[in-house]
Chains A and B, each alone.
Chain A
């Protein structure tokens, strides 16, 4: 049942991707003009994804809008660098403690969506002791390609562009409420990453 819902959503999102592709690299026109959109609507495709819990979500509307987020890309079978990145981000999650899932949300998007079903990602999260508030995401390859390319993980050389291993070392962080976005290496010191997120939260005038 979950699997069927996922496949259906993939079909829908393929249509969306074709439309988005026709519009060039433009931001999702629907999201950009919708009154329910936040200031960063034009920067993110509102593609439909599946969480590792099997829930269907719209990327911009449900996961990014109005939130402080950390976003990275990974895939479960990566034996090279993903394990160190995921382990490093797990330390980031521990440093944030219960603020993750409340003030700050973490997302890891699979670059190998055909293999990384929600079940695979659920097992992956379990293996790394990932706590609630950090969501692993999969979807159609076309949607994920749109997503990663819009988010700067792209290369003019098609061979490099299609090579999953070339893209996975960067974490995007930002605050959608202020349209404030930046990125850092996924292997930055966890305490530094926590500090960076503080920079975009904009909740204080001077540091505590």
Chain B
């Protein structure tokens, strides 16, 4: 392993520049000169990890051999032919899929929330986790615009379970445009033995195709226990497609983008975890600042590898928490092509050296392996040094902590032939009605208060809305980090927003997309444009550092007609 890495470093220094222009040149012709950045990075001995101790854990988690296990790709959730008892249409706000309109009927799905046995790594014992359908991560939901669905979430967790977590759930389809009843509201709890049907109409916000969503995730949102339940395994990915982002790289439709698709479109769910001396998953329920693990998990496996063909891949990165901020880069210093932020395609691809991600943020990237000889190994590294759950130290580690290894092991031939492309323009942005928004401004300050976390001085109150918003009214919100020592990834339910300014400055290109999470650095102030169109009811805004969220940095807001 060491020798192949050395070989690779040598190779990339000698040939990196020319080969990469060939490989990525068609993606960003305008910025080709900025592509082949191959700084002379020091090599890291395999397995050495500068990650600090998980705060509060008596010792480091037991040693695990890196790259011992392949990346697991979660199975796609399959439809069921019927749900028994029958779905009750009266529970739902939007008629779509219930036979009242000419469109397709609801696709039916069932997810059982239950314990399962899971192996994080061959060096650790197989152990019980909680999973959607008993697996970690849960099965990947796949949706297509125009095809509404009902997902029945059935809580089968044991009420007398001993260990962190609470066997009571509320499942949130993160960034889904859905009614309040199906939103996984923090206090709309499904108890063990109960189920709840969530209706996902899979419609564009405002019926505007420019509002399409692509990379979502679903996770538990049970108030006060979100951090514990998600950490125990209750998270899964959700991909959405339409005729532009169609999931078919040979799509004859001239509108179709033909991005890397199928087996070459892979969700990467990052979560850092800690294990006790017996190798069992460990969590500190008495940590209110943010929890760090000292093991890098990708799709539920510790430091996995992925064998790749010499072609383009789409990776959908998700920081699934609990608290960590990542700064991802490739070990060979080569740029990645950012195509979507928080699951929403950008107007044009943006070449990036590194990707900073706070909890719940998603970033879709293209990596082109076609220029690399077979045998090449590239490591996805986290360069952000972080020593406690509050925020990064600010120091960039070179090399970073090794998280995931790509091994180029074959040519892309036959069924793997690369028909994909990364067009220079992706999806147009919807217009903003800024003039109408100017007169509806609000300010929210996210602050520490008496050892817990507050928004505008108030703790989460499930029974009373902190404010109400008129349906359809464009607004401008100012989100302020009121403290000096913390970052807050702020998430707003129902519809995503646009960043107008960050600290008074226009946002960087990668900040100019549609977002449902914005990371507020200490003292930062971000102005956003937001509008809620299709549903009324109660929703929440909260910090997605799940320890802050659980300790009351959340506000209920009601959308009213």
Judged by a CB distance under 8 angstroms, whether B4 is at the interface is no
Complex partner residue of B166 from A27, A43, A187, A200, CB under 8 angstroms: A200
**B222: nearest chain-A partner, CB-CB:** A199
A169 touches B162 (CB 8 A): no
Shortest Cβ distance from residue B363 to the other chain A in the assembled complex, whole angstroms: 29
Comparing B256-264, B337-345, B353-361, B449-457, the segment that makes contact with chain A is B449-457
| A183 and B551 form a contact (CB under 8 A) | yes
- A183–B288 touching, CB < 8 Å: yes
Identify B286's interface contact among A152, A166, A199, CB under 8 A. A152
Inter-chain contact B163/A181, CB cutoff 8 Å: no
* Minimum CB–CB distance for B222 against chain A, Å: 9
Query: Whole-angstrom distance between the alpha carbons of A151 and B451 in the complex?
Result: 12
How many A residues face the partner with a CB closer than 8 A? 43
A152 to B452, CA, bound (A): 11
Taking the closest CB of chain A, its distance from the CB of B291, in whole angstroms, is 10
B450 and A169: CB pair below 8 A?
A: yes
| Smallest beta-carbon distance B395→chain A, Å | 15
Mostly, the B contact residues are loop
Q: Which of A169, A189, A206 contacts B449 (CB 8 A)?
A: A169
**Cβ A168 vs Cβ B451 within 8 A:** yes
Query: Is residue A87 within 8 Å, beta carbon to beta carbon, of the partner chain?
Result: no
CB distance from A100 to the nearest CB of B (A): 21
Which one, B161, B193, B451, contacts A169 given CB within 8 A? Answer: B451
User: Is A187 within 8 A of B58, CB to CB?
Assistant: no
Contacts of A200 in B (CB 8 A): 166
Which residues of chain A are within 8 angstroms of B57 by Cβ–Cβ distance? 25
Query: Digit string of B498-536 for contact with A (CB within 8 Å is 1, else 0)?
Result: 000000000000000000000000000000000000000
Q: Is there contact, CB below 8 Å, between B451 and A181?
A: no
Using Cβ atoms and an 8 Å threshold, which residues of chain A touch B449? 169, 185
Inter-subunit contact B162/A181 (CB<8 Å): no
CB closest chain-B residue, reference A32: B58
* Residues 151-200 (chain A) with a chain B CB within 8 angstroms: 151-153, 156-157, 166-170, 172, 174, 177-189, 192, 196, 199-200
Task: Please name all residues of chain A whose beta carbon is closer than 8 Å to the beta carbon of B7 when the two chains form the complex.
Answer: none
Please state if A152 and B287 are interface contacts (CB–CB under 8 Å). yes
| Complex: A169 Cα to B160 Cα, angstroms | 30
Is B550 an interface residue when CB atoms closer than 8 A count as contact? Answer: yes
User: Considering the chains assembled together, what is the distance between the CA atoms of A197 and B32 in angstroms?
Assistant: 59
The minimal Cβ–Cβ distance linking A113 to chain B, given in whole angstroms, is 19
Contact between chains at B551 and A178 (CB < 8 Å): no
**A189 surroundings in chain B (CB, below 8 A):** 461, 463
A-contact bits for B418-462, CB 8 A (1 contact / 0 none): 000000000000000000000000000000011110100001011
- Count of B interface residues, CB-CB < 8 Å: 42
B58/A24 in contact, CB under 8 A: yes
Q: Inter-chain contact count A-B, CB under 8 Å?
A: 112
Instruction: For A43, list chain B residues within 8 Å (CB).
Output: 285-286
A168 to B449, CA, bound (A): 10
Partner of A178, one of B162, B451, B461, B550: B162
Contacts of A152 in B (CB 8 A): 284, 286-289
Contact between chains at B59 and A181 (CB < 8 Å): no
Contact indicator B551/A184 (Cβ below 8 Å): yes
Contact mask B243-287 → A, CB, 8 Å, 1/0? 000000000000000000000000000000000000000001111
Nearest B residue to A156 via CB reads B388
A183-B450 CB under 8 A given contacts A24-B59, A205-B191, A207-B191: no
The A-contacting residues of B in range 185-236, CB under 8 angstroms, are 191-194, 224-225, 228
Q: How far is the CB of B289 from chain A (nearest CB, A)?
A: 8
- Provide the bound-state CA to CA distance between A43 and B166, in Å: 17
- Assess whether A185 is in contact with B452, with CB atoms less than 8 Å apart: yes
Residue of A nearest to B167 (CB): A202
Name, among B451, B452, B485, the residue most crowded by chain A CB atoms within 10 Å (CB to CB).
B451
- How far apart are B57's CB and chain A's nearest CB, in angstroms? 8
Known contacts: A188-B552, A199-B166. The answer to whether A27 contacts B58 by CB under 8 A is yes
Contact with A along B22-55 (1 / 0, CB 8 A): 0000000000000000000000000000000000
Q: A206 CA to B189 CA in the complex, in Å?
A: 10
Question: Would B288 and A26 count as touching, CB distance under 8 A?
Answer: no
- Most chain A CB neighbours (cut-off 10 Å) among B59, B450, B462: B450
State how many angstroms separate the Cβ of A41 from the closest Cβ of chain B: 12
Is A39 in contact with chain B by the CB < 8 A criterion?
A: yes
- Known pairs A24-B59, A181-B285; A187 contacts B450 (CB<8 A): yes
**Which residue of chain A lies nearest to B227 when distances are taken between CB atoms in the complex?**
A182
B373 interfacial by beta-carbon distance below 8 Å:
no
| Residues in A neighbouring B285, C-beta threshold 8 A | 43, 174, 181-183
Q: For A196, list chain B residues within 8 Å (CB).
A: 224
Least CB distance, A67 to chain B, in whole angstroms? 15
Q: A151-B286, A200-B166 are in contact. Are A178 and B450 (CB under 8 A)?
A: no
B193 contact from A156, A168, A206, Cβ within 8 A: A206
**CB <8 Å contact, A170 and B551:** yes
Query: In the complex, A189→B285 CA distance in Å?
Result: 22
Interface status of B377 (Cβ within 8 A of chain A)? no
- Residue A81 at the chain B interface, CB threshold 8 Å: yes
| B164: Cβ under 8 A from any A Cβ | yes
Known A182-B166, A199-B224; 16 more pairs at CB < 8 Å: A23-B58, A26-B58, A152-B287, A152-B288, A172-B286, A178-B160, A179-B163, A182-B225, A183-B452, A183-B550, A185-B449, A185-B452, A185-B454, A189-B461, A204-B191, A206-B192
Question: B-contacting residues of A (Cβ < 8 Å)?
Answer: 23-27, 39, 43, 81, 150-153, 156-157, 166-170, 172, 174, 177-189, 192, 196, 199-200, 202, 204-207
Pairs A–B under 8 Å by Cβ, sample size 26:
A39-B163, A81-B450, A150-B286, A152-B284, A152-B287, A169-B449, A170-B450, A170-B451, A174-B285, A177-B162, A178-B163, A179-B163, A180-B163, A180-B165, A181-B285, A182-B166, A184-B552, A185-B454, A185-B551, A188-B459, A196-B224, A199-B168, A200-B166, A205-B159, A206-B191, A206-B193
